[in-house]
Amino acid sequence: MDSSGIPPEASFAEAPSRRWLVAFSGGLDSTVLLHWAAQFAATDAAISLRALHVHHGLNAAADDWAAHCARIADSLAVPLTVRRVQVDLNGGSGLEAAARTARFAAIREVMQPAETVLFAHHQDDQAETLLLNLARGSGPDGLSAMPRQRDLGAGWLYRPLLGLSRARLEAEAHAMRLSWIDDPSNRDESLDRNFLRHRVIPLLRERWPGFSDKAADATRRIAEVTTQIREDDGPLLDSLTHEGGLSVSALSQLEPAVTARVLRMAMRRAGLPLPGQAVLGQVLRVIQSGRNDAEHCVQWGRAEVRRYRDRLFIQHRLPEVASDWTTQWSGEPALQLPSGSGELVSGASGSWTVRLAQPTDVIRQPGRPGKRLAKWCQEQGIPPWLRLRLPVVLRDEWICSIGATCIDEQIAPSNLQWNHQLVGVPRV
């Protein structure tokens, strides 16, 4: 061990920044992580350290766990944030994935720019992840398992304990006389990771005692290869991207293996979970489809891939459309829109009605014949699934603006801006 009592395999010194946020569940692994992080921070005045406990509300003892974490953090003089989340159990992705999604959403909300989030994943977690991804038919990205470091929000995710086994962490915890939470769900073998942990991996170690070490070595070697592939594929993905979508015609000219790699990279950039091979195969069939006029959609979890004309859109699944939403607007302050449609901003003062677009809308520009909404959207290149999310501004039941596009400047709000994150809305 070094002078701080931390094993050299725990690589805190290589963290990408000196602003640390420890993901602290209160379990054995994260308890050891928090103690060592506090010890290391005591030797380096440049380090700022705080912790986050995500309260999932899935166990009757969740409040007690949060209180326990608060006591541990207080004993170490580490500021702790407790963030309550709602886990979506009806999303179709399973309990483990849903809890992970909620947890990462909370982390992104809490973390600050240039902050490094420390996770307590260790060598055994790495072996479990490798086996899970093998069972799912993952490609090279999945087989490289968990990287020690990656981008996360405006900062980084970092795993300093990947070089240590769970048994080593438990021995260190007992040596330091630490107390931790024993989550009973960790013994539920109906969950995939627990099944591997309690049933499969012990058999593999019985046959091959160095299994976890070998698995970790394998993931490192695969990661080296995938890193080089990403460096090669990054410029290709950039060249295929236009107005938030990928060129379908260009993708269809690539070798299927290259297309699959580019799609995974695009999904990763969008912050989406990587799908299994079956879902990826559906996406590849959408790319090869000759029906440009069809509305294609492939969904998994809270992610989706859609195609419109020659563009492929990879995005988070959009919320349901609030078709009956309407409100009065004076032009200020900024108007928040429903259904993930962003906000409208204008420096004007007046009286307008704002609602979302409807299929029966007719766009009438002065001196021009009227056009049905679908026809107008086709000319603007707006995909079908976004058309009923367009904000419509009316004066006396007359459409004067759609999005930020002025239909009648005589009655439309001046300097109108539409701020949104809808992928695939050009010029509107």
Residue with tokens 């029966």: 360
Question: In the prediction, which pLDDT does 219 show?
Answer: 84
Question: In the prediction, which pLDDT does 3 show?
Answer: 44
- At position 287, the amino acid (one-letter code) is I
Question: In the prediction, which pLDDT does 293 show?
Answer: 62
Question: In the prediction, which pLDDT does 427 show?
Answer: 60
Question: In the prediction, which pLDDT does 91 show?
Answer: 64
**What secondary structure letter does DSSP report for 148?**
S
Tokens of 170: 């438990």
Compute the half-sphere exposure of residue 182: CA atoms within 13 Å on the CB side of its CA.
4
Question: In the prediction, which pLDDT does 184 show?
Answer: 86
CB-based burial of residue 46 (10 Å sphere; 0-12 exposed, 13-18 middle, 19+ buried)?
Answer: exposed
Tens of pLDDT along the chain (428 residues)?
A: 444 679 888 899 999 999 999 999 999 999 999 999 999 999 999 999 999 999 988 888 999 999 999 999 999 999 999 999 888 877 666 777 888 888 988 999 999 999 999 999 999 998 888 898 888 777 777 777 788 888 888 899 999 999 899 999 999 999 999 999 988 888 889 888 899 999 999 999 999 988 888 888 888 888 887 777 777 788 999 999 987 899 999 999 999 888 998 998 899 888 888 888 889 999 999 999 877 666 789 998 889 999 998 999 999 888 889 889 999 999 888 899 998 899 999 988 889 999 999 999 999 888 888 899 999 999 988 999 999 999 999 998 899 999 989 998 889 998 899 999 888 887 66
pTM above 0.85, yes or no: no
**What secondary structure letter does DSSP report for 347?**
S
CA dihedral sign, ordered 94, 157, 166, 83: negative
Question: In the prediction, which pLDDT does 271 show?
Answer: 81
Choose among 167, 162, 165: nearest CA to 146.
162
